Amino acid sequence: MTVPDATVNIARIPVPNPGSALLNFAIDAEACVACLACVRTCPTDAIAVAGEAPLLQIVDELCIRCGQCFAACPHDAVRVGGEIGRALAAAARGDGVLILSPEAAAHFYPATPEQVVNACYEAGFRTVTRGVIGDELVAAEYLRLWEEEAWGTMIRSTDPVVVDTIRARYPELIPYLAPVAIPAVAEARYLKARQGSHFPVIYAGISPPARSPDLHAAITFADLEELFRARGVSVLSQPGYFHRVPEERRRHLSAAGGMPLAMLEEFRHTTGRFRVIRGLDGLAALARAVSVDRLELGFVDMLSYERALDHPLSGPKEELYWRRALLASTEPPRSRIPVVDSTVVASVGAVFAIKPRAIEPDPQVVGTFLDAIGLGPNGRPWDCGACGFATCRRFAEVAALGRATLRQCTPYQERRADEARSAAAVDVLTGLSTYRVLRDRLTYEIERSKRSNERFAVMFLDLDRFKQVNDTYGHEAGNDILRGVAAEVRHAVRASDVAARYGGDEFVVILTRTDLAGAARVGEALRAGIEGVGRRLGYPAGVITVSVGLAEFDPKQTSEHDLLVAADRALYRAKASGRNLVA
């Protein structure tokens, strides 16, 4: 069976387009050891595997930037970076507006939030906001929708990872997404409406929208640290108080992430119109309930993680509760009055387009890969997950698209290794054992004989004048003779014996638990049988004959001699005595 080449070129990681405001996930080839931890954890099969090494790459159009590969990699080979060049240029010009996500307090600790904001101003940003206004705008819109009765199911749309996954894999859920922008986008629109659309808005945080023309650039907190270094700014050297009048930091309507407190309060008393789903695994059941079962689920509070601080880019899992406590301690008291300027008109609506469907693999190619993988001992697909995919079929589909290789498949590789070992153990022409197997088995039999005090014999066979036969009748005829002789040898020996092709027209047989007299009887039977092979193949009498040399191993002997050498010497005595003899 021919397996398709699994090392076809895979999609290159594209450079973000201007205005796309996306984080770039990439795999450092120097640090990567191809352990496939990222492949196993990626929910969208966006990690492509190719090459002999193999080489892992992230396919940008499939990546939803959930960060799971970043957390799963034990070798720190996943690199995450934003558009730091555009952010640095905006800071250098002095016209950049920075939306600084509140989670910065945990990242820059022990620096205080005041020191971080002061450092942003010193780096050159014109305005620094804390992401609160976006949450407030989105919360107000959710409250308005909550009070309407016309909807049966509405899915929270503040999580870019959830939105991007729905657009790519569950388009049937797009009509049920709340038509509300992500808080960062809503705040960017508000800031442009208030200060002017010509000011570039930069977002610094953990989970920015994948693509938005409203944001000039998106960067991580690590990128912001790099920007500070490039601008010669030290965060810890900043004063511990705001040296400029700070932008609004207090909340009125919202909780972190843009949910209204009023909705959360109602959720505590009733679940009829409010459901909570955490993790992308819940999307399949949600799609089934809405599009197939036609259920009205009310408001679905859907997030890829519990909170922003749970995101893998926030830091180690074991520090989660420390981050939460730190962020809570920096939260200012809640405002009793609205904090959004009502005179500023900015849209918070959103329209979610369906992503182009991914290229479907050729079913025939998928079938070829499944045939190559084979079935498990129970007759069912292996589905062992060692390749990084949940099922063999999913692996075959990705492999058919050139984003996976059979080198990832453990059952396939084990079978290949078994076949290689078998090929090394079996002579291709005759089907007998190879010289390597012969030497290993001979060593084993000598040790076994010493322990059990049982003798065994070795028989050396060499076809007489075989070169003349080849020269007269041709090499293909000679191959037929060798195959016939091998079949006769197999027929004459027991299953516990070992018959091997020594090389050319020479064969060796190990006769276990057999003395020299017994070996002589077997040798004579083989000599006569091989003469019969020549007659059956149509050669004149006496053309195909064999000489046989015997040697015996006696464990009681104090000196060990090479049995093969002794059998070879006996063989030459048979040749010297006229050939077609046993000696």
pLDDT tens for 444-486 read 888 888 888 888 999 999 999 998 988 889 989 999 999 999 9
- Residue 208: is its pLDDT beyond 90? no
Which residues are CB-neighbours of 218 under 8 A, at least 6 positions away? Answer: 21, 22, 23, 82, 83, 202, 203, 204, 205, 208, 209
Measured CA to CA, the distance from residue 561 to residue 404 in angstroms comes to 54
**% of residues, the chain, pLDDT over 90:** 39
**Highest-scoring range by mean pLDDT, 144-158, 204-218, 491-505:** 491-505
Task: Indicate if 242 and 292 belong to the same structural domain.
Answer: yes
Domain assignment present for 229:
yes
Query: 24: pLDDT confidence band, cut at 50, 70 and 90?
Result: confident
**Which pLDDT does position 561 carry in this prediction?**
59
- The arithmetic mean of pLDDT across residues 114-124, rounded, is 95
Q: Residue 203 in contact with residue 21, Cβ under 8 Å?
A: yes
Task: Indicate if 298 and 397 belong to the same structural domain.
Answer: no
Task: Indicate if 536 and 502 belong to the same structural domain.
Answer: yes
403 CA to centre of own chain: 10
Task: Indicate if 558 and 458 belong to the same structural domain.
Answer: yes
Q: Residue 184 in contact with residue 134, Cβ under 8 Å?
A: yes
Domain assignment present for 218:
no
Express each pLDDT in 41-61 by its tens digit: 888 888 888 776 678 888 888
- Residue 16: is its pLDDT beyond 60? no
Task: Indicate if 397 and 481 belong to the same structural domain.
Answer: no
Domain assignment present for 117:
no
Report which of 39, 48, 44 is spatially closest to residue 404, judged by C-alpha positions.
48
Express each pLDDT in 323-337 by its tens digit: 999 998 998 899 999
Domain assignment present for 118:
no
Buried b (16+ CB within 10 A) or exposed e, 185-195: bbbbbbbbebe
**Which pLDDT does position 128 carry in this prediction?**
95
Express each pLDDT in 260-271 by its tens digit: 888 877 776 656
Choose one of 312, 330, 348: the last residue of a domain: 330
**Which pLDDT does position 272 carry in this prediction?**
67
Choose one of 330, 349, 368: the last residue of a domain: 330
Measured CA to CA, the distance from residue 564 to residue 259 in angstroms comes to 85
Domain assignment present for 110:
no
**Which pLDDT does position 452 carry in this prediction?**
87
- Residue 151: is its pLDDT beyond 60? yes
Task: Indicate if 277 and 324 belong to the same structural domain.
Answer: yes
Residue 372 sits in a domain whose CATH number is: 3.30.70.20
**Which pLDDT does position 357 carry in this prediction?**
67
Q: Find where tokens 């070829």 sit.
A: 368
Task: Indicate if 518 and 566 belong to the same structural domain.
Answer: yes
Domain assignment present for 491:
yes
Task: Indicate if 30 and 56 belong to the same structural domain.
Answer: yes
- The arithmetic mean of pLDDT across residues 129-155, rounded, is 88
DSSP state of 470: H
Domain count, the chain: 3
Domain assignment present for 158:
yes
Task: Burial-class residue 211 by CB neighbours within 10 Å (0-12, 13-18, 19+).
Answer: middle
**Which pLDDT does position 555 carry in this prediction?**
81
Measured CA to CA, the distance from residue 397 to residue 381 in angstroms comes to 14
Domain assignment present for 139:
yes
Residue ranges making up the domain that contains 30: 24-81+359-415
Task: Indicate if 180 and 261 belong to the same structural domain.
Answer: yes
Express each pLDDT in 536-557 by its tens digit: 988 888 899 999 999 999 887 7
Task: Indicate if 175 and 306 belong to the same structural domain.
Answer: yes
Measured CA to CA, the distance from residue 73 to residue 35 in angstroms comes to 8
Residue 492 sits in a domain whose CATH number is: 3.30.70.270
**Which pLDDT does position 53 carry in this prediction?**
65
Task: Indicate if 168 and 67 belong to the same structural domain.
Answer: no
Task: Indicate if 399 and 252 belong to the same structural domain.
Answer: no
Express each pLDDT in 232-241 by its tens digit: 999 999 999 9
Q: Residue 72 in contact with residue 37, Cβ under 8 Å?
A: yes
**Which pLDDT does position 286 carry in this prediction?**
93
- Residue 310: is its pLDDT beyond 90? no
Report which of 567, 554, 569 is spatially closest to residue 507, judged by C-alpha positions.
567
